Structure 1
Amino acid sequence: MLSYQADEPRNPASTMKVLTTWSALKVLGPSWSWNTEAWLRGELEGDVLQGDLVLKGYGDPFLVDETFWQFVRALRTKGIREITGDIIIDGSFFDVPEVDRAAFDNQPTRVYNAQPSALMVNFQSTRFVLSPEVGLDSVKVVVQPPLNELVLDNQLQLVKGRCRREHAKPVILPQKDNRILIKGKFADGCGQRELQRLISFSPGRHAFDAFKSVWNSQGGHLGGGFQAGQVRASDRRFHIHTSRALAEQVRLINKWSNNVMTRQVMLSLGAKQYGAPGTLEKGRLAVMDVLEEQGIPTQGILIENGSGLSRDSRISAAQLGMLLQKIWHDPYMPEMLSSLPLLGQDGTLARRFRKTEQAGRSRLKTGTLNRVTAIAGYMLTRSGKRMVIVMQHNGRRAGSAGRGLQNKVLEWVFEQ
């Protein structure tokens, strides 16, 4: 119906997640799940493990606090009370190079910059719970998991009044002297608020800190500390936790545009197709294989990490539009379609076209970066026609003019 420079490869931002999540559904299947395992290295004498406990991950993208609590609780329920040795974290299922988390946008503590890990607990984020203590004229800060080797330097200032935006988002900065500085103004009208930030630079150490915190809270005793290592042939598998199914996780990814979950999925896809460990290159190849099998021309497509959090990723609107048409006629279409944000109702589109006739009639993946805005998906028009829509804007005015133009085009297409 309408096309303008559709063959020009552009930065797609998070609409790149359509490629990654669709490829995973096609190769792994909607019911695919991830295991997280606990292995014993030593003898279990009564309720005491005389040795080490090895935790091995296989890339579960959604091993959040509540799920990890259940995993640890299962160890207590199955009879372990005390571990005399260390907790060994095995993240060998992925082989991902270390990167500078500040390299992308100089925001190393923001959760969207989390790096993937085969054993990733709660997106590697540390939770800061802030509560006003009016009688003490201070702000209480509770950190989870606890900062075992770091000191919290709480310089928050409690102010009276309504909870304005600038009062609810204090600055949290890791310091070189093992301090975590938290500063700014926090209004008593804000009540209890929660922030999540990346504090630990070691995914393994973060997983250990989370384990130790939950273990201690459940009455367990740990005699040793943290080690990075791998499962040995002589170790005995003690417990397996199975994740949510891929289809459920794809819905979480695309509705809320979760970057690190997408990266976990692409690495898992690479490991499935080309063998462990999962690497970026294997993941990229696996996604490109799916596109070629679907008959999508791949010339000009550039995949960096699969999430779209990249300055270098490229795909044309025509290529993405062709993929969306292929998806529509695929048996797994319902799983993919239900993962896309519903215009005016949920996910990253909850506030767009609210309380209009268009609300609920489009499922579209959004993408936003500095100088990039994009949207891709499906619309049911007023007359009942199904439309595939892909719009990409790159450049200095992409954020302001680009989104406005998108809205105008969406309004026009809806009337067709």
Structure 2
Amino acid sequence: MHITVIGTGYVGLVTGACFSEMGNHVTCVDVDKAKIENLKNGVLPIYEPGLEGLVTSNHKLGLLNFTTDLSEAMTHSDLFFIAVGTPPGEDGSADLRYVLTVAREIGENLSRYGVIVDKSTVPVGTADKVRQVVQGELDKRGVSVEFDVVSNPEFLKEGAAVGDFMRPDRVVIGTDSPRSEAIMKTLYAPFSRIQDKIVSMGIRDAEMTKYAANSLLATKISFMNEIAFMCEKLGVDVESVRKGIGSDSRIGYSFIYAGCGYGGSCFPKDVQALIRSAGEVGFTPLILKAVETRNAFQKKRLFEKVVAHFGDDLTGRRFGVWGLAFKPGTDDMREAPAVVVIDQLIAAGATVTAYDPVAMEEAGQSLAGHLKSGSLTLADHQYDAVKDVDAMLLVTEWKPFRQPDFEAMKRLMAQPVIFDGRNQYNPEQLKTEGFHYEGIGR
């Protein structure tokens, strides 16, 4: 098939690369000329394991191409995936300006039947708006061209996106047209050969499915973080509780790890957007609001533990932070708990040395103000980040942080204190090693 993917961010680039891997001819379109030139030269705008190889190999084969010219790309395609950003507005609602701009450009150039696919995460009713915009442009041109709009939400985990796309749990196709449904099923057939992974439903159903899925996962995280706080107050180890409830097949072990809050480009934005959508129809989403409130509180939990140990005034103290990305396997720092922790530590007078295996370049941009002021230093190695510090804060559970050399750390640190925001370490072991250790809910 010949496919156009508009947007070369996280979703668009993974989508285009994986479709091309199956032999499809894919053209990825973006307005950013520098990004397009970089992609042509094998330089990716994001870090995602396995993605670089797919992009470079399929580009060399001629199956994956990059351009800034949407009209040119459309002359060769019958499938158009909209994969642009939907950032939260000031009120938390999803900003659809980029989606609708693309829809307008598609309408300006559509010359034969095509399937327009909403791949971006969008609120219920967005497909209707896309259809209206495209039809409006066709009417302006005075032409009659058939088209269908499909909702095909992505369910990709950053750090495992390529595997998730190639071996999906499910492929949700929201459409009211048998013609477009057949095309989409043909497109996704190679991804569900062992068993049928395709779930067909109405367009609005598919739009809601994406928000409901992410909001439920965020709810599990916030619920466990609330239980963790109670565990601390009651003298209970939340890790034992996690194992006890996770063994119940109705609950499972996924997303029930206590920690210092969730971040990234999906969960915070999607919970906010669903809350906003509920408000627009006169409904108060009590659970979702509680999920958001708990997560905002949880991001401050490590700082509260630091203050409880060292006092409110941290002037003259230095802290090491391990992990800056919002989760392992990515360089994404959007809504990252580490940013909140670092902001609070510096505001209280401390200086910080931080390290992340992948997100250092992104950190240079996200934390530029602190770097410029001299309050923050980015270390070249994880052990450089704990030299002469009063405590180390583990914020992101990267694999290199899981079994560190505690003896070396103790020699390097000014004080042997660890605040473990992901419950990676054994409290008894660290006590034996001579550390003061605090986890979450332990």
Please tell me the TM-score bracket, short chain as reference: under 0.3
> Whose helix fraction is larger, Structure 1's or Structure 2's?
2
Q: TM-score, normalising length from structure 2? A: 0.25
Identify the structure with bigger relative contact order (alpha carbons < 8 Å, sequence gap 6+).
Answer: 1
> Whose strand fraction is larger, Structure 1's or Structure 2's?
1
